[in-house]
Amino acid sequence: MAKLKMALVSVYAHREDRAAVLEQLQRWGVMDLETVALSEETAACPEGFSREETEAQTAGYERNAAEIDQALGVLNEYAPQKKGLLASFSGRREISQEAFSAAQDDAPEQLKTAYRIVELHRKIAETRAEIVRLKTGVAQLALWEALDVPLSFSGTTSTAAFIGTVVGAQTEESLLCALAERAPEVDVSAEILGAAGEQTAVFLLCARAQADALAEALRTLGFARPAQLTTKIPRDKIADRTARIEAHEKEIEAAADEIVSLADRREALELTADYFLARAEQNRTVGLLDQTEHAFRLRGYLPEREVPLFRKRLEEAFAVSVESEPADEELAPVKLRNNAFCYPAETITEMYALPTAQDIDPTPITSFFYYFFFGMMLADAGYGLLLALGSWFLMHKCRPETAMRRNLKLFFYCGVSTTLWGLVFGSFFGDAVAVISEHFFGHRVALPALLDPMNGDAVQLLILSILLGFVQILVGLGTKFYILWKNGERLSAVFDVGFWITTLLGIALFVLGMTLLPPVKIVGAVLAIASAVGLVATQGRSAKGVMKLFSGLASLYDITGYVSDLLSFSRLMALGLTSAAMAAVFNLLGTMAGKGVVGLLVLLIIFPVGHAVNFGLNALGAYVHTLRLQYVELFSKFYEGGGRAFKPFAIPSKYVRIKEENQE
């Protein structure tokens, strides 16, 4: 139950086998090549070796994958894939290795399909933009629909025509009066064509010789020519554009239908996209290889325990030479391995940070406390059974992927812990058993409880929470002591950690003596004072002169941090009470409608809805606050983190997953 010890493995093979070796390694997905590249990114190739430039070809494969991704996005827009509620737990579609390899033959055809889908989508977008332009033009021409001449008409040899808009709402009478005031010498004929907002469309005629005078008069009225000076009669132009709009809409419908008709290619497209991603990763890896004209060398990290099987399988398949050496722990990636109970909690460690060479794997410690505290916060046997059975069902029904399966196992153990704490508190959907039995049957049946915080045991629960927090803090300090001792820093282990452990134990014994066991009061006081003196004498050992004493005295201030940490564990009580109180409220609401049929119906509605809300809110609260107790109150005592994750060279699929091969 720890970090796996890594080996740095070198594989030498014939260059002609390069593609086959890389494909096999990618299928196995057991060797980390990227971390070697990162740790040696400035190192030159060994003498006689060179590296191949593969960026252009890699980029080509990535573009193909991106093109198919875009096509799949279009398919999801026009022909959404219907998935059930449980599908989100199942993860990617599972296929065989043979089916994945066969994607190479079908790739050109599927890429052609992707291009067609993207082209159709682009055509639809362009056509929709054209429709918007045409509709805008129709809207602009609507004001002139009553006009029987083109908008570009300017008159005849003897007459001048003015087509445009003037400011304000005008009638023929008001317009002619306004023109008469401004150009009394002009004999003008006017027709109102329509109005839009604060503008009026007009058609004016006058003698050609009077055109300039009329133009000057119209200028004072805010006259403006139409935006479109068409050579067709407006109504004909409108009809033409309307017909084009209808034709474009049919084109869009046909293109959309064609896209929908290609929805049956979705799975093939997904497989092809992953194939191109795999090829891109292979080509990128080729650029990391040290090569000669006839051979190549591949280097990567592998768990030391897996090297013999790796060597055996590779040498059986190819003419290769496999060498291994212990990896530098500072450079090697981190891969965790824990037993079935602790393994789900690896996700908690990974969310924080992976251990470095100096750290130990905190998963075995944090797994116990996480399950324990989560259950104590939710603390209801009914909720715990729902969580445990629901997680178990999803694991076995949906065949989830590794990450999802690990999370479901985490919640399964949390559900078991919640059930056990619910039995301790006598809570099964709160006090549902007692309330329902008393309300409908007239006889109160209450579940037995070792600790009932809702009926007078809240203080005891608070004390228990603080005691459990004290235990976790001591475990964290004890782990730090072990790490320092193991790394040869034994004085630091005793002075910086050991004295704090004995100080806290002394204070705990002193408090215990003041409340329950008077004989241990003196022992606790002596131990606490002696340990405090030890801290004062040793915490300033790196300082000089009188600063040694001041540094030692200042270190005692850290006791406030430990007090703060202990008080943080009161959230165990607070969330436990919140869950129980909300459950009791919903149970009470469910029985307020009486005992008859109506009362039963109200109960059947409020009970599941109310408890679903309570379960969701408090399960989320327990998840978050338990994380905080691990990250702040536990990890701060001994854990730093910062290790680099083990990333095996594998098929980087987005849509499908390959059935795991039996490597034995």
Mean pLDDT value across residues 458-475: 93
644: which DSSP letter?
A: P
Query: What residues have CB less than 8 Å from 177, skipping those under 6 apart?
Result: none
Whether 1-52+287-335+646-664 shares its CATH topology with 152-225 is answered yes
pLDDT for 40: 63
Identify whether the C-beta of residue 6 lies closer than 8 Å to the C-beta of residue 302: yes
Mean pLDDT value across residues 383-394: 95
pLDDT digits (tens, 9 = 90+) for 550-587: 777 887 888 888 999 999 999 999 999 999 999 999 98
Percent of the chain at pLDDT > 70 equals 97
- Measured in whole angstroms, how far is the alpha carbon of residue 537 from the centre of its chain? 50
Q: Please give the Cα distance from 231 to 152 (Å, whole number).
A: 6
- Nearest to residue 350, comparing CAs of 661, 631, 68, 64? 631
- CB neighbour class for 193 (10 Å; exposed up to 12, middle 13-18, buried from 19): middle
pLDDT for 621: 94
pLDDT band (50, 70, 90) for residue 47: low
Looking at the structure, give the CATH architecture of the domain made up of residues 1-52+287-335+646-664. Answer: 2-Layer Sandwich (3.30)
The structure tokens listed for 34 are 């990227």
pLDDT digits (tens, 9 = 90+) for 578-624: 999 999 999 888 888 778 788 888 888 999 999 999 999 999 999 99
pLDDT digits (tens, 9 = 90+) for 13-45: 999 999 999 999 998 999 998 777 666 654 556
pLDDT digits (tens, 9 = 90+) for 238-251: 999 999 999 999 99
- Nearest to residue 168, comparing CAs of 223, 217, 116? 223
Query: What residues have CB less than 8 Å from 127, skipping those under 6 apart?
Result: 248, 251, 252, 255
- CB neighbour class for 280 (10 Å; exposed up to 12, middle 13-18, buried from 19): buried
pLDDT for 391: 95
Mean pLDDT value across residues 650-659: 87
The structure tokens listed for 187 are 């004999």
Beta-sheet strand order (sheet of 188-196) = 159-167, 199-207, 188-196
Identify whether the C-beta of residue 584 lies closer than 8 Å to the C-beta of residue 431: yes
pLDDT for 260: 94
pLDDT digits (tens, 9 = 90+) for 479-507: 999 999 998 899 999 998 999 999 999 99
Q: Please give the Cα distance from 110 to 107 (Å, whole number).
A: 5
pLDDT band (50, 70, 90) for residue 663: very low
The length of the chain is 664
**3-class secondary-structure state, position 324:** strand
Mean pLDDT value across residues 115-136: 95
Q: 116 pLDDT exceeds 90?
A: yes
Q: Please give the Cα distance from 229 to 162 (Å, whole number).
A: 12
Q: 478 pLDDT exceeds 80?
A: yes
pTM of the full structure: 0.83
Q: Which fold has domain 152-225?
A: Alpha-Beta Plaits (3.30.70)
**3-class secondary-structure state, position 161:** strand
pLDDT digits (tens, 9 = 90+) for 414-456: 999 999 999 999 999 988 888 888 878 778 888 888 888 888 8
pLDDT for 546: 67
Q: 303 pLDDT exceeds 90?
A: yes
Domain boundaries, the chain: 1-52+287-335+646-664, 55-139+243-286, 152-225, 343-456+569-638
Question: For residues 535 and 44, which has the higher predicted lDDT (pLDDT)?
Answer: 535
Mean pLDDT of the chain: 89
